[in-house]
Every structure is written in structure tokens, then in C-alpha cells.
Amino acid sequence: MIGSVILQQIIGVSRLSIPFVILYSLFPRHVFSLLGITLCSLVMGTYVAYATYQTTKNMADGLKHVPSDHYMEMFHGEITQCGLQPKDVCLRYAYADDGIAVTMLNTVALDPMLWKGITDDPEFIKAKDIIETHVIPGIPEEKRVLHAKINEALSPHAQKFIFRHELGHVFHNYSNKRILLTGVIGAVTACTGLLSAYAVITTLGGIGALLIGILVGSATDLVLSYSSNLFFKAREEKKADMFAVQYSSKEEIHAAADFFEQYEQYAQEYKKSTSSLIASMPSALLTGHPDGITRSNYLKANTQA
């Protein structure tokens, strides 16, 4: 599993290296000048940020199942209660794996397989049917068991808190900040790769320098990506939790805290069943989400302050 992650990283960086190889073959002195490395790195960072934005936007725009009138009014009431304008938040029904809900730019997608309390919304039923037909058959049994446990543990109060958490991401402009950070990581990756290639090109030649640049760039991207989960995304997740706390009652906060504790227990059981080294990594490092016990503790501490 770890080998596949590293291989995927190397393949991705290799593809992004193709323009540099072409530029070097045409303008070798310019590419490896200080100005050339700087400009190439900035262009790469800009491209990575733009590509990430377009991918995220296309995913959000591709979600077509919109809550019907009654449920839309209900969600709009929650949005207004949290100090946001309903026109600034797009609501959709879509598969979110075990996340229950997910935010992409200003689009909040609710997972029909896990979301409770909606039984007669035609769009909800359509989305659920599509997921059951085309997504669920490809999910391992262990993951289905995890989903069932999450669904059973999710209470109405915890569900409200989670919806407000997603609104917190919209409020704090999380998606655009993440896209910008992705661009910065892309620029730094390009810079370290080019500098490494430049350092060895006279001794290893063009092919050797290319391989060294790809390996160093891949390692840089891997380290920075996981570091961004730990130091950026985990912080943003907590900020979204604190946003939800502002607009939730103590009962709702405690319900969310209890749910996160149960979620963590089920997540640990799932990790053991998969026997994956990657899955065994701390969730804050792997996905940027604080583990359920940590979230539960700071939520409960907040109600006691």
C-alpha cells in the first residue's frame, strides 16, 4: 500500500516534469538560471492550483440532485441561523464515503446513504438509488459495515452539528485556501526538483539529473502534502467545529462529541480489518481530520468553559 502511494507520487511528478524536459532541450541555460528556476516553479504552482480548482469545480458542478422545496427551506433556515446567506451555499445530495457530508468550494453535499430524516424527497431518493446501483457494489464489505455503524450512531443532534461544521468550511473559505496551498506545494516541489537536477546534471548527465529531480520532487511533494494535512487541514477542521459550536446548543455539542467517540471506535475497527499500513496512520496526518477522541474532548471542554 505504501509502495503504491509512492509510485503514484512519482508518476504524477514525472508527468508534470515533461514541460521542463522540453524547455530544457530548447533553452538549457535559461531553465537552469536563477530566474528560470523561479519562473518555472511559479508557473508550475499556478498550473497546479488552477488544475485543482477546475477539478474541484467540475466535481461540484457535476452534482445534480438538489433538495426539494420543503427540505431546501429547512436547510436554508439552518444556513440563515448560522449567519450565512442561502444564496451563497449550494446544497446537493451525493456520496461522501464515510464523511457523511463534504464541502467543495461553496457546495455542501449530503450523503443519502448516511443522512437521516429525509424520506420523501424525490431527489434524495434518486441520488440514493444511483449510489446503491453504481457505487455500493464496488465497496469492500468492511467499508459497508463501517457505513452501517456510522449510520446507526448518527443522532439528529449530531447530524445538525455536522451540517453546521460544513457551513463553517464555507464561511472560512476552506476550499480556496486549500487550493492556494496546493499551488504553493506544487511550486516548492518544482523548485526542489529543478535545483536537485541542476546540482547533478554535470556529473550524471541529462537522464540522471531528470531521475534525481523526479525523486526529490516526489519526496518533497509527499512530505509537504502530509504536513499540510497535519498543520493546515487539521486546524481548518477544528475551526469548522468551533463555527458549529457557536450555533449549537450544549445538547447538540455533546451529541456530536459522543458521535465522534463512537466514530473513532468504528474507524479503528475498520483499520484493523484492512491490515493497511497507510490506514494505520494518524487520521490528522492521513486525511487532516483530528481523530474522534480529540474532537470529542475539545468539544466537551468547550461546553464546560
Q: Please write the tens of the pLDDT for every residue from 76-96.
A: 999 999 999 999 999 999 999
- Please say whether the beta carbons of 68 and 123 come within 8 A: yes
By C-alpha distance, which of 74, 41, 29, 294 is closest to 184? 41
User: Which of 149-173 are b and which e, b meaning 16 or more Cβ less than 10 Å from the residue's Cβ?
Assistant: bbeebbbebbbbbbbbbbbbbbbee
Find all residues with CB under 8 Å of 203, minimum gap 6, and list them. none
Q: Are strands 101-104 and 90-93 parallel, antiparallel or unpaired?
A: unpaired
Q: Please write the tens of the pLDDT for every residue from 116-163.
A: 999 899 999 999 999 999 999 998 898 899 999 999 999 999 999 999
pLDDT at 274: 77
Confidence of residue 273 (pLDDT cuts 50, 70, 90): confident
Ramachandran quadrant class, 111 (left: phi over 0; alpha: psi -120 to 50; beta: rest): beta
Residue 301's H or E segment, with its range, is helix 292-304
In the chain, what percentage of residues exceed pLDDT 70? 93
CA dihedral (90, 246, 163, 268) positive or negative: positive
Q: Where are the alpha helices (DSSP H) in 32-140?
A: 34-61, 69-81, 122-134
DSSP structure string for 99-127: SSEEEETTEEEE-TTT--S--S-HHHHHH
Mean pLDDT across the chain:
89
- Please say whether the beta carbons of 76 and 86 come within 8 A: yes
Note the pTM of the prediction, 2 decimals. 0.89
- Per DSSP, 247 falls in state T
Half-sphere exposure of 187 (CA within 13 A, CB side): 16
- The C-alpha angle 162, 109, 59, rounded to 5 degrees, equals 140
Cell of 86: 442561502
